[in-house]
């Protein structure tokens, strides 16, 4: 049965993956340069020159993520990177999914329609995760036939991809976890009460 269902909202945390996403869109990032805004030009880090009148920059937040700063006035920026940067965020989430999956030794197969099948090659029972990337780069993880402990590795994948908005554990998962905890406690008692 399904163990957990997670919704992750896009957050740019990795400039390499962001650069890949920009390259896919025919854009490049300069580590430092002039950035054109409606009110004038400013020197900024992580500048992306855009067609049209204005550019964008990625500004580091206190939380270690980057936010897109751009002038959406007049629709020039939107045409290239989407409303609130959604086209860039979508491409970024796909690149990030591939990057983190590779680091965790998962296989990623595109299923079309912005759905990706992610599986652990060590799992022989066909269990896998379906990941849907929304228009604005948010990710939804839907487990297919993953049992108990096997979910842990996928939780690691989810946690590295953005801000966890919601994670629902199904009854089966909670029942299985409770059983696992009971077994662990029983083993601990045998060792001497710790």
pTM to 2 decimal places: 0.82
Interatomic CA distance for residues 88 and 14, integer angstroms: 13
53-79 residue pLDDT tens: 999 999 998 888 998 999 888 889 999
Relative to beta strand 40-48, strand 56-60 is antiparallel
CB atoms within 10 A of CB 40: 8
Q: Does 124 have pLDDT greater than 90?
A: no
CA distance 21 to 143: 26
Cα distances (Å, whole numbers) of residue 67 to 48, 58, 170, 178: 13, 5, 33, 40
């Amino acid at each position: 049965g399904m163990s957990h269902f997670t919704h992750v909202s896009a957050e740019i945390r990795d400039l390499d993956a962001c650069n890949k996403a920009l390259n896919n869109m025919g854009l490049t990032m300069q580590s430092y340069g002039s950035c054109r805004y409606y009110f004038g030009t400013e020197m900024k880090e992580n500048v992306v020159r855009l067609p049209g009148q204005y550019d964008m920059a990625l500004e580091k937040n206190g939380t270690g993520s980057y936010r897109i700063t751009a002038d959406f006035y007049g629709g020039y920026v939107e045409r290239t990177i989407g409303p609130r940067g959604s086209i860039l965020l979508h491409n970024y989430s796909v690149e990030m999914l591939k990057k983190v999956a590779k680091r965790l030794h998962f296989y990623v197969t595109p299923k079309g329609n912005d759905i990706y099948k992610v599986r652990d090659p060590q799992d022989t029972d066909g269990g896998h995760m379906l990941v849907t990337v929304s228009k604005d780069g948010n990710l939804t993880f839907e487990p297919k036939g993953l049992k108990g402990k096997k979910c842990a590795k996928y939780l690691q994948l989810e946690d590295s991809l953005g801000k966890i908005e919601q994670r629902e554990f199904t009854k089966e998962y909670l029942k299985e976890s409770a059983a696992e905890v009971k077994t662990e406690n029983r083993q601990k008692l045998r060792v001497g009460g710790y």
